[in-house]
Each structure stands twice: as structure tokens, then as C-alpha cells.
Amino acid sequence: MAVTFDLFGTLIEAPKPADPARAIAVELDARGVETPEGWTEAYRTPHVDAPDGAEVPLPAHVAAALRSLGVEPPANTVRRAVVAAFDPDVHTREGAVEAVRAARDCGPVGILSNCSVPELVSRSLIRSAFSREEFDAVVSSVGCGWRKPHPKAFEAIASRLDRPVSELVHVGDSLEADGGIEACGGQAIVLVDGTAMAEVPALLEAGNG
């Protein structure tokens, strides 16, 4: 048995910008890239053709949106602006530390997070009550290329933990994304409908008994 956790909304809270297009525009402007008229609409429009379930890195989307408006900034400038726009203010959720400690009694522990922003998962962990060493593997959708509930996302974290997906218990806050592990043969603990983080240690112990 191995236990994996969703990150945002499960272990931590890290609010996104209220207006991502504007936040990115501010960071681009600070780096000498002016966003032209029509930027907001361009940001909201898909520009990268990707298979169902594939993750499109946000810098790639932003660069494509800018190109659609005739702007071609350096790729590293776009990436830095996107990362800065989503620089997280992190709060560790109540009971999360205890849940991860309980998971370690069951076997390897990992994080599997849907996140299109490079570096955001690692930056968020640094600012949380967790250390990177508490997790045997950390996989983000921008890193593996697939978003939960796509099977390849769960397969990626299972491979890193050296376990089959059928031996994973995944803890998250979305029935669709995190609960998707059940279609792959694993188990889900989804923190909805009254299930609280404080219950996770007992649920894991019962499942490992």
C-alpha cells in the first residue's frame, strides 16, 4: 500500500490570483513585455491543441496567446512572469500534518497535484508546514504531462513510488479528479460530503488493517 495526496485544497490552501490574466500582465510589464489590447480575451482562449487529459503548461499557453496578438517575448521571460504571478501565499490545512504522518505508517507517501504552473508545487511545499523529505515522490501535472483523473497521472506517481496503481490510496478534495483513481483500480478518500481531514488517519488505518 502507498498513499498519495492532492496538494492544493487538500494539504494546503494557496489562493490563485483573482484575475490571472491581469496578474500575468503586470509581471510581463515588469519584465518589459507590454500586453496589447485584447490580451484578456486572448488569455481566456485556448491556443494549444492537446489530447484530452493532457496538461498544457501555463507559460506555453501564455506565449501562444501573446503570439496570437503579434507579440513574441523570450520564453524564459514568459515563464518567469507566470511563476511570479502565481507566487503562493500558503496556509497548511488543519489536520494535514497528522494525516501525512499517519500515511507514513502505511507505506510510501507521495503528492499528485494538478498544476499548470512550473515550480508552483515546490514553492508551495517550501512555504508549508511540510518538508520535501516527508514525501517519497512529488508529481505535478505540469511535470508528468497529464491531469487527474487521466490514468497516466496516477500511473506516473505509482511508478515513482514503485507500486502498482491498484495499491494506491489517493486523498483529495475532488470527486472527479481525485476520485478518478478508482477507475484505475486504486482507492480514493475524497474530502467532500462531510469527510474531514481529521478522519484520514483512521480511514488509512482501517484500510491497512
pTM (two decimals):
0.94
Give, in words, the CATH class of 2-14+90-207.
alpha beta
As a whole number of angstroms, the distance between CA 191 and CA 27 comes to 35
**Cβ 108 vs Cβ 163: under 8 Å:** yes
Which residue numbers in the chain have pLDDT < 70? 208-209
Per-residue pLDDT at 194: 79
**Cβ 16 vs Cβ 124: under 8 Å:** no
- Helices marked H in the chain: 20-30, 39-44, 58-68, 75-85, 96-104, 120-126, 141-144, 151-160, 200-207
> What are the structural domain ranges in the chain?
2-14+90-207, 20-85
In sequence order, what are the beta bridge partners of 109? 3
Distance of CA 169 to the CA centre of its chain: 17
